[in-house]
Amino acid sequence: MAVVIPDETLQAAHLTAAELKQELAILLFSKDRLTLAQAASLAEMPPIAFQHLLASRGISPHYDVAEFEQDLATLQKLGML
């Protein structure tokens, strides 16, 4: 689906198209509507760059205990722990 934002709207907001995508991605991620990977994709950024953008805004990545335990299990299976 394509969304068309008039140039006048971008100018009024003092944003480029890329900045608007980033702002939308940050908003949807912070409201738990998109995962980190989905939000990074929307922002057209590599996930690590998107994480840095979040950090610059004081937004922590959503990473709970269950995800941490899954990561530990994966690392153990790979022999990295």
Residue 1 burial class via C-beta count within 10 angstroms: exposed 0-12, middle 13-18, buried 19 and up: exposed
Residue 47 burial class via C-beta count within 10 angstroms: exposed 0-12, middle 13-18, buried 19 and up: middle
| pTM (two decimals) | 0.75
Task: Please indicate whether residue 56 or residue 81 has the higher confidence score (pLDDT).
Answer: 56
Question: Do the domain assignments include residue 3?
Answer: no
Between CA 61 and CA 41 the distance in angstroms is: 15
Q: Which two tokens stand for residue 34?
A: 């998109």
Question: Do the domain assignments include residue 8?
Answer: no
What pLDDT, in 10s, does the model give residues 9-62? Answer: 999 999 999 999 999 999 999 998 998 889 999 999 998 999 999 999 999 887
User: Which range of residues forms the domain containing residue 73?
Assistant: 13-77
Question: Do the domain assignments include residue 24?
Answer: yes
Q: What is the mean pLDDT of residues 51-78?
A: 85
Question: How many domains does the structure of the chain reveal?
Answer: 1
Q: What is the pLDDT of residue 24?
A: 97
